[in-house]
Amino acid sequence: MSNPPAKATPCPVCRKPSVAAHAPFCSAACRDRDLIAWLDERYVVPGRPASDEGDHGDAE
């Protein structure tokens, strides 16, 4: 029995088929665009807001 061929995952930036050398992106340009979006804080990971009072668990 042989496995069916894996379905190509689209590039998360432009939706073109991804390329193994740049997975999960289709090119270095899309990979770089994604990195820039993270660095510009256009993407965020959900979580609790950071407190200004320094909730680091330090004992006083």
Write the pLDDT tens digit of every residue in 6-60: 567 899 999 999 999 999 999 999 999 999 999 999 988 888 887 766 555 555 4
**Residue scoring higher pLDDT (32 or 1):** 32
**pTM for the structure as a whole:** 0.63
pLDDT at 5: 53
What pLDDT score was predicted for residue 46? 87
Residue ranges of domains in the chain: 9-44
- Mean pLDDT for the stretch of residues 1-10: 66
Both tokens assigned to 41: 């804080």
Q: Is 2 exposed, middle or buried (0-12, 13-18, 19+ CB in 10 A)?
A: exposed
